[in-house]
Structure 1
Amino acid sequence: MRVGLIVDSACDLPYDFARKHDLFVLPVTAIIDGQTYTDKHDPVRTQEFYLSGLLDKAHEAETRAFTVEQIHDLLMEQVVTEFDVAICETVTKNRSQIFQNATEAMNSVMAHYEGARKAAGRDGKFSMRVIDSKQIFAGQGLLAAHTLRLIGQNVSKNALRQEVESFTDKIYTCVIPRDLHYIRERARRRGDKNVSALAAFLGKALNITPVIFGRGVEGKPVVKTRHFDMAVEKVMNYAAARVDAGLLTPYVSLSCGLSWTDIEDLPGLNRLRDACERHGVELLLSQMGITSAIYVGPGSICLALAAEPHAFNDFQ
């Protein structure tokens, strides 16, 4: 039985890691200054976007989920014909239409897949499950890495689904937005009042760089600093200390809306690397994808790990 994992383009993971594990990426449509692009999480294309400045707040940018029909066609052509079981983990349904569209596409596929499998020479039935990751960006990446680990352990289909669905509530995420005004403007355009209100609240003080921390997308500001590097160092200290205390899966996911040169210069990154190496934890370091960068803004950082219940300040 061949089990495949599907994620969408909001899921941040290192490209080599995704390719090694045959991860199927469901594209997202990006619309920038009226021009349409397809975000397939290609690293070369992503780097071109960063260098071009198209992700900066001076440009009109938004993302749109693939339609039900587009997702249906991709599943029929590239998933049904390759896998016997498919798990699709989407960005939190509170922030995107992807979960709903993928679910409708799945229902259609399940009613019509036999012909496609027969033509591809695959025997047996096909099954699929769409799961709301309740995560964004690096949090999605962490859930995907944990899922792939379970698949590698040959966990049964039902046990895999149950473990993945319960594990989403154990993921803690730190987000450092580089530009609060960017977040507020993007939130206003997509009608996301929660994010807009948060940015407005934080933006009352000038030059504030917050650390937003919590489980999944239910984050709240736990630190407010005057400098981006100070916020980054606090997050790196937290992550390194949490790794020392123990994790529920041997991964830390870190995605950065920066050039690779700037990523390597992040304060505290080597301390986190050392902690991961001591404990056999894999640091999944990636450049934030186009979809993620449009949402939270270039220059931002997202870190995720899974652990027992705790507070950010417990590990400072």
Structure 2
Amino acid sequence: MRVGLIVDSACDLPYEFARKHDLFVLPVTAIIDGQTYIDNHDPVRTQEFYQSGLLDKGHQAETEAFSAEQIHDLFMEKIVTEFDVAICETVTRSRSLIYQNASEAMNSVMAHYEEARKAAGRDGKFSMRVIDSKQIFAGQGLLAAHTLKLIGQKVSKNALRHEVETFTDKIYTCVIPRDLHYIRERARRRGDKSVSAVAAFLGKALNIIPVIFGQGVEGKPVAKTRNFDMAVEKVMNYAVARVEAGLLTPYVSLSCGLSWTEIEDLPGLNRLRDACEQNGVELLLSQMGITSAIYVGPGSICLALAAEPHEFSDFQ
């Protein structure tokens, strides 16, 4: 039985890790200054976007989920013919139509897959499940890494589905938005009022950089700093201490909306690398994808790990 994992372009993971594990990325359409781009996590294209400045706040940038029809065609061509069981983990449904469209596509695929499998020479039935990851960015990447570990352990498909659906509630994320005004403007265009204009104004006027912490997308500010490096130090201190205290899966996911040179210069990154190595944890360090960078803004950082219930302040 061949099991495949599908994620969308909001899921941040190192390119080599995704390729090694045959991860299928469901693309997202990016519309920047009226030009349409397909974000399929091509590392070369992503690097070009950062270098060109197309992701900076001076540009009009939005993302758009593939339609149910587009997703259906991809599933029929790439998934039904290659796998016997497929798990599709989408960015949280509260922030995107991907879950809804993928679910609609799945229902159509399940009613019409036999002919495609027969033509591809694959015997037996096909099953599929679309799961709301309840995560964004690095959090979605962490869930994907844990899912791939379970697939490698050859757990049954029912056990796999149950573990994934329960495990996502154990993931904690830290987000450092570089520019609250950017987030507020993007949220306003989506009709999302979760970031207030007052908070955006204070962040812009006083150069306040917050650390937003919580489970999945249910985060709240837990620290306010006067510069970006101070915020990064706090998050790295948290991650190092949490790794040393123990995790529920041996991964820490860190995605950064920065150039690789800037990423390597992040304060505390080498301490986190050392802590992970000493505790048998793999650090999944990636450049934030185009979709993620448009959503939260270039220069931002997202870190995710899975652990027993705790507060950010417990590890400061």
State the TM-score, normalized to the length of structure 1: 0.98
User: Could you say which residue in structure 1 is the equivalent of 2:257?
Assistant: 257
Do the aligned partners of 1:139 and 1:253 also contact (CA within 8 Å) in 2?
yes
Instruction: Supply the RMSD in Å over aligned alpha carbons.
Output: 1.1
Q: Distance in 2 between matches of 1:192 and 1:52?
A: 28
Partner of 2:224: 224
Q: Gaps spanning 5+ residues in structure 2: where?
A: none
**Letter paired with 1:86:** A
Cα distance change, pair 199–133 in 1 and its aligned pair in 2 (3 A): farther
Residue in structure 2 matched with residue 101 of structure 1 by the alignment: 101
Once residues 198 and 41 of structure 2 are traced to their aligned partners in structure 1, the CA distance between those partners, rounded to angstroms, is 28
Quick one: distance in 1 between partners of 2:127 and 2:202? 45
Structure 2 partner of 1:57:
57
Q: Secondary structure at the match of 2:252?
A: strand
Partner of 2:296: 296
CA distance in 1, matches of 2:210, 2:271: 21
Q: Deviation per CA, 1:86-141, whole angstroms, max 9, x where unpaired? A: 00000000000000000000000000000000000000000000000000000000
- For residue 222 of structure 1, give the secondary structure of its aligned residue in structure 2: strand
Question: Could you tell me which amino acid in structure 1 is paired with residue 142 of structure 2?
Answer: L
Q: Which runs of 4+ in 1 moved over 6 A?
A: none
Which position in structure 2 is the counterpart of 1:144? 144
The aligned length equals: 316
**2:56·2:297 contact (CA, 8 Å) conserved in 1?**
yes
Provide the C-alpha distance between the structure 1 equivalents of 2:40 and 2:204, rounded to a whole number of angstroms. 37
2:128 alignment partner, SS class: strand
Partner of 1:188: 188
C-alpha contact (below 8 Å) 1:28/1:64 kept by paired residues: yes
Structure 2 residue 191 is matched with structure 1 residue 160: no
SS in 1 for 2:54: coil
**Matches of 1:297 and 1:174, distance apart in 2:** 15
Residue equivalent to 1:16: 16
The answer for the alignment partner of 1:75 in structure 2 is: 75
CA–CA distance in structure 2, aligned partners of residues 187 and 292 of structure 1: 13
- Using the size of structure 2 for normalisation, the TM-score is 0.98
Instruction: Write the deviation string for residues 239-262 of structure 1: whole angstroms up to 9, x where unpaired.
Output: 000000000000000000000000
d(CA) in 1 for partners of 2:229, 2:201:
21
Question: Where do residues 29-44 of structure 1 align in structure 2 (5 Å cutoff)?
Answer: 29-44=29-44
Contact kept? 1:183, 1:196, Cα under 8 Å:
no
Q: Show the counterpart of 2:28.
A: 28
Contact conserved, 1:183 with 1:199, CA < 8 A, in 2?
Answer: no
Q: Matched residues in 2 for 1:39 and 1:166: separation?
A: 29
Deviations for 1:167-225, whole angstroms, at most 9, x for unmatched residues?
01000000000111110111111111113468437538610000000000000000000
Structure 1 stretches of 5 or more lacking a match? none
Deviation at 1:301, TM superposition (A): 0.1
Percent identity between the aligned chains? 89
Counterpart amino acid of 1:49? F
- Residue 273 in 1 paired to residue 273 in 2? yes
- The answer to whether the 8 A contact 1:173-1:213 is kept is yes
Letter in 2 for 1:18: A
